[in-house]
A and B are shown apart, each in its own frame.
Chain A
Amino acid sequence: MIPVSLPLVTGALLFALGAFGVLVRRNAIVIFMCIELMLNAVNLTLVGLSSRLHSVDGPIFVMFVMAVAAAEAAVGLAIIIALYRRKSTVDVSNFNILKG
């Protein structure tokens, strides 16, 4: 009933938006949020296609993505906190010690 183009297009746009956000924002937490945005776009695409194709693999994949996103949130934010303790800032332009 819902043409499959809709979830695909929405997912594509959301993903591009999230990618743009990762590249332009300087606040580490906001970058993280943009990544979550990208993950959601992927989820949407998966659900959209699997509903069209009558497959149960899509939603299963979505659940795993969510689990991984949760784990990623925990660890990522812990890293940001640890970084903040060192440098008193979350502005990523200050983190360049790996410069080679």
Chain B
Amino acid sequence: MVYEALYILFALGALIGGLNVVARRNPVNSAIGLLFTFICIAALYILHGSPFLAMIQIIVYAGAILILVVFTIMLLALRQPGAGLTKFWTVPQKLAALVGAVLLGGELLYLAARAVTLIAEPADAELSTLAQPAALGQALFGKFLLPFEVAGVLLLAAIVGAVVLTRRPKGTAAMIDAPHADEKGGRP
């Protein structure tokens, strides 16, 4: 009972964070909202009986990805005047997006409902404690060894790609000299 209430609490928190991401004009505010979402989801993972996953969520998402995003925002010195809701596209586009999203949500909910009916709910189910490091490790280095190695290669490729994409021609200034958003023209 308590678990359920906590769950709903954190779920709502995640949703509120998501709304912030979508609706705030200042990208920094969006990033804060995203951070809030990540933390709430980590809490949900704990409620699902997997603190390990929660830790990984914080470390990877909040601690790496989000940092990267914030870094980028700051580096590009994007200035958005004021706060509040952001400027959207034209009305028809907004409408289409809204319709699309609503339909998407509806379909997913339907599928969720179907899944629920398919999965028998035992009266007093024990929380699954399967997702512990030991079991995960067994699976990762056993059944999922190949994807694991491939993921490593993928990360290597990503690193190389990131470096290549952001390389400047030799002898030019560093990133700090990037022009402001309201200036025209830039360094080649």
Contacts and interface: CB of A to CB of B under 8 A. Distances in A.
Interface of A: 1-21, 23-27, 29-30, 32-34, 36-37, 40, 43-44, 47-60, 62-64, 66-75, 77-82, 84-86, 88-90
Given A33-B69, A88-B183, A69 B61 contact: yes
A34 B93 contact: no
Given A14-B15, A49-B115, A68-B154, A6 B61 contact: no
B161 to A, nearest CB: 5
Contacts, number: 254
B151 A68 contact: yes
A17 B65 contact: no
Interface string B121-155: 10011111011000110111000100100010011
Contacts of B31: 33
Nearest to B29: A30
Interface residues of B, number: 95
- Among B38, B124, B185, B186, max chain A CB count under 10 A is at B186
B187 interface: yes
B181 A88 contact: yes
Contacts of A3: 4, 116, 121
Nearest to B180: A88
Given A16-B101, A40-B61, A60-B139, A51 B76 contact: no
B57 A66 contact: yes
B3 A37 contact: no
Interface in B7-33: 7-8, 11, 14-15, 18-19, 21-22, 27, 30-31
Interface in B53-103: 53, 56-57, 60-61, 64-65, 68-69, 72-73, 75-76, 78, 86-89, 93-94, 96-98, 100-102
A89 to B, nearest CB: 6
Nearest to A57: B139
A81 B164 CA distance: 12
Q: Which 3 A-B pairs have the closest CB atoms?
A: A16-B105, A71-B158, A12-B108
Contact of B89 (A24, A68, A75): A24
A15 to B, nearest CB: 6
B10 to A, nearest CB: 9
Contacts of B56: 63, 66
B169 to A, nearest CB: 11
A51 B131 contact: yes
12 contacts: A1-B4, A4-B121, A10-B15, A25-B22, A26-B86, A29-B27, A37-B37, A43-B57, A51-B48, A59-B131, A67-B155, A89-B181
